Amino acid sequence: MILTFAGGVGGAKLAHGLSLCLAPAELMIAVNTGDDFEHLGLHVSPDIDTVMYTLGGCADRERGWGRSGETWNFMEALERLGGETWFKLGDRDIATHVERTRRLRNGEMLSAVTADFAEKLGVRHAIAPMSDAPVRTRVHTDEGDLDFQDYFVRRACKPRVRAVEYFGARDAAPAGPLNRAMSSPDLRGIVICPSNPLLSIAPILAVAGLRDWLSRRKVPAIAVSPLINGAAIKGPAAKILRETGMGANCSSIAQFYCGLIDGLIVDPGDVAGTRPPEGMQILSADILMRDDADRKRLAQVALDFISRLKSRR
Amino acid sequence: MILTFAGGVGGAKLAHGLSLCLAPAELMIAVNTGDDFEHLGLHVSPDIDTVMYTLGGCADRERGWGRSGETWNFMEALERLGGETWFKLGDRDIATHVERTRRLRNGEMLSAVTADFAEKLGVRHAIAPMSDAPVRTRVHTDEGDLDFQDYFVRRACKPRVRAVEYFGARDAAPAGPLNRAMSSPDLRGIVICPSNPLLSIAPILAVAGLRDWLSRRKVPAIAVSPLINGAAIKGPAAKILRETGMGANCSSIAQFYCGLIDGLIVDPGDVAGTRPPEGMQILSADILMRDDADRKRLAQVALDFISRLKSRR
């Protein structure tokens, strides 16, 4: 079994690629919930939905979020009633939030609701939130401290980031499905998807016991760089890495994952400039995922890398 | 000022007619909330919405509920996720329920949210819930006791009704706007719309103090029959009147409002068969409202009736 950590769009793409290479029992996708928030009284889990819609074949590929063939009549009617419209929710998408909120209020775990929704959408591989307990990413900026979606959507990532905090993470245990994968004798490797390190992967690593477990793991772990030539494919990763002083380059990514991974996959153009910590191998591969074939190809590269690292361990 | 009590579709039509005859300051529409319920975790107020959408010019005229030009992608997506779909909520309509629920949970009164929504939808006349406190209509049937929407929508009014109860009504004070209309020196009459007596009007009359106030009022009150030749225009009024032993005819309607109204408007074909209680006048008029012109015409008939009764009082 392969355990993968995923955040937003890039993470969903590689997770999808892995699902095209592995049987359902061979993959567990643990997803960041630091971006989750209550909006309009509804529990919204943006990263879970992006992964779920992507694997369910109903994600919008142009927009990068929400569902394909979406309509916006809810939003239009909400605007007329004076409701908040800075966070866009499509007519189909809102069914996810309404029904999830209802079930959570009814006492169900987010992991149970996620597993059920994914199955209903035709996803055969396991998707789980990193934790069933709330973790909320908060961004400290030069314009004050902002809730994640305030920073990410409402302010369009414009304020300068000083630090990122993951409220609740210390007290949040890994969700049941993730916990079972972590202790499974069948676990043969870990893949950290090309998601934003500070916004998507760090909240997962902050979950109680997870970083410690990852540093002591007996199986190989690798990550895929979210940067190509110092720029993110999508999103503010490069900007935030610069603003926090880490640097928008693959050496910073390697340093960020120091002690947690055995190998890092970087774009061919980044190999020469990447200085990994001792013991971390760098693998060169085309990491841009333009289509399903790219997703599957990169996933297979990651899986082969893990197999090679395993034989060395 | 005219105070009118309204329930579902028939009520909304006459309330609309009254709004076409009267200036905004001259009309207060108090609406049944006994049908309100929590569905999918959302507060749904079907009668308020029917009145609000009708006066706002965005009600669906064919279906008799919900909004015109509606789409159903939320419902379709909800069904796929395994959610409950017996109560239909359109994509535009759901914005009303989501935003109202959010505001109610935030501590606002239903009357305040209703007034604001109505204004946003372009309604210039006052619409208020009968009460800001919850009243829940419960239907005792030969198949057990049912929540109103379970009976009305899920069971399509099929079970035989034995009695109808209005939970919470005794402790529910009239909402602020209704209370102000009741004590206004400008009040010159009351119009009970052609709504289902037991399901739409009785919950209003059950609100604390309202029946008593109506029986002691100093201004004329009239009602418009919801039946034509023993049949309801729409809905189960006739069926329920028969099942509860009251009888599906205008004499029963007159008896139901005994002591509460001075006049009853019935269809020309029903005049001969209607035996009113002593002191109640019967007025013959075409009560079928096919279009806006009919609504306005019937409203004017009701207003003229009130003026005549006033001169007699």
Domain ranges of chain A: 2-60+111-136+172-312
Mutation site, A75, A98, A100, interface B, largest B CB count within 10 A: A98
Residue B207 DSSP SS3: coil
Q: Which of A106, A74, A89 is nearest to A44 (CA)?
A: A89
Cβ-based neighbours of B141, under 8 Å, separated by 6 or more: B151, B159, B160, B161, B162
Terminal CA-CA length for chain B: 17
Find the mean pLDDT for residues B45-63. Answer: 96
Residue B313 has pLDDT above 70, yes or no: no
CATH 3.30.70.260 fits B3-7+9-312, yes or no: no
Q: What angle separates helix B46-55 from helix B110-120, to the nearest 10 degrees? A: 30
Q: Quote the mean pLDDT of chain B.
A: 96
B200-217 in b/e burial notation, b at 16+ Cβ within 10 A?
bbbbbbbbbebbebbeeb
Mutation site, A52, A67, A73, A100, interface B, largest B CB count within 10 A: A73
Summarised one tens digit per residue, pLDDT across range B229-246 is 999 988 899 999 999 999
Strands B189-192 and B221-224: parallel
Cβ-based neighbours of A74, under 8 Å, separated by 6 or more: A89, A90, A91, A94, B74, B91, B92, B94, B95, B98
Supply the ipTM of this predicted assembly: 0.92
Residue B293 has pLDDT above 70, yes or no: yes
In the prediction, which pLDDT does B129 show?
98
In the prediction, which pLDDT does B310 show?
82
Residues of B within 8 A of A74 (CB-CB) are 74, 91-92, 94-95, 98
In the prediction, which pLDDT does B234 show?
85
In the prediction, which pLDDT does A116 show?
98
In the prediction, which pLDDT does A233 show?
86
Say what percent of chain B tops pLDDT 70: 99
Top-level class of domain A2-60+111-136+172-312: alpha beta
Residues of B within 8 A of A82 (CB-CB) are 99, 116, 120
| The dihedral formed by the CA atoms of A52, A56, A60 and A66, expressed in degrees to the nearest 10 | -30
H or E, element range at B283 = strand B281-284
- Written in H, E and C, the secondary structure of chain A is CEEEEECCHHHHHHHHHHHHHCCHHHEEEEECCCCCEEECCEEECHHHHHHHHHHCCCECCCCCCCECCCCCHHHHHHHHCCCCCCCCCCCCHHHHHHHHHHHHHCCCCHHHHHHHHHHHCCCCCEEEECECCCCEEEEEECCEEEEHHHHHHHCCCCCCEEEEEEECHHHCCECHHHHHHHCCCCCCEEEECCCCHHHHHHHHHHCCCHHHHHHHCCCCEEEECCEECCEECCCCHHHHHHHCCCCCCHHHHHHHCCCCCCEEEECHHHCCCCCCCCCCEEEECCCCCCCHHHHHHHHHHHHHHHHHHHHHC
Residue B150 DSSP SS3: helix
Find the mean pLDDT for residues B90-105. Answer: 98
Find the mean pLDDT for residues B79-91. Answer: 97
Hey, is the C-beta of A73 within 8 angstroms of any chain B C-beta?
yes
Categorize the per-residue pLDDT at B277 as very low, low, confident or very high, splitting at 50, 70 and 90: very high
In the prediction, which pLDDT does B184 show?
97
A22-32 in b/e burial notation, b at 16+ Cβ within 10 A?
beeebbbbbbb
Locate the chain B residue with the closest alpha carbon to A115: B81
Q: Which of B136, B199, B194, B195 is nearest to B163 (CA)?
A: B199
Residue B172 DSSP SS3: coil
What is the DSSP secondary structure assignment for residue B161, as one 8-state letter? E
Shortest CB distance from B41 goes to which of A75, A96, A105? Answer: A105
Residues of B within 8 A of A105 (CB-CB) are 41
Q: Which of A283, A241, A279, A246 is nearest to A266 (CA)?
A: A283
In the prediction, which pLDDT does A248 show?
94
Find the mean pLDDT for residues B220-226. Answer: 97
Residue B9, by phi and psi: left (phi above 0), alpha (psi -120 to 50) or beta? alpha
Hey, is the C-beta of B85 within 8 angstroms of any chain A C-beta?
no
Cβ neighbour number for residue B227 with a 10 Å cutoff: 22
pLDDT, mean of each 10-residue run, chain A (313 residues): 96 98 98 97 98 97 92 98 96 98 98 98 98 97 94 94 96 98 97 96 97 96 96 90 94 96 97 95 97 98 96 70
In the prediction, which pLDDT does A310 show?
82
